[in-house]
Structure 1
């Protein structure tokens, strides 16, 4: 009779448990009730446009993350906002993302192209409104622009 090291026994038990979990997830994935998309989109036709929209969206999100967020407090204060309002403006994008994520997740499970086009347009308009807020001297436009940027997330 060979006595095994307890560490080896724990490793083998973990491998067996992981294997059972993986098999269960594979079973669920194969038998999931996934609805087919209502529309059948020609993938080759929209491939380039989708790639371009994804690149533009990524660029705009990076602009939001690395340029707009760090400067949003100064921008808001130049429009006469109090410090607490600056925090609301900065956080409004994240709050909008929390609520829109569920909707976009469900929508993109049915079709990828329309949500991508919609989010590109809304993200672009949100950034334009954010930029125009200074010329219009409006904190409301500033907040709406930030909310629109978050709705696409």
Structure 2
């Protein structure tokens, strides 16, 4: 009885899915391992890039235009709408980002005010740290000199 070689390839990468780099790599390795003289498979990989991957892959000529037609327009980011694949989940995320940015600005402002207040009182925090380090170095020098004296005078 004659044994037949059957090769089945499952493409798991529709245009709007998110596939991690190592998964793409494994898929391409599998394709390469299946290539023999008897059952040759084309070597062109599925090269459209996702917005979440920065692989720097070059697109096969002609495929870039096809992708533009598929996405409609110049390409780039997908429409940011509710429930769209590849888009954001509504405007809530943007609002949260703005809130976080505002809080950060408030925090920096408060810190600036605190530093100014300390400077007015004559105790600038940065200068205090410098003095603290100087005192620490001085103590270390005294300790070293006392150890040297003990070693030289038994």
With the length of structure 1 as denominator, give the TM-score of the two structures. 0.24
Instruction: Please tell me whether Structure 1 or Structure 2 has the larger radius of gyration of its CA atoms.
Output: 2
Q: Relative contact order (alpha carbons < 8 A, sep ≥ 6): 1 or 2 greater? A: 1
Question: Which structure carries more helix by proportion?
Answer: 1
With the length of structure 2 as denominator, give the TM-score of the two structures. 0.24
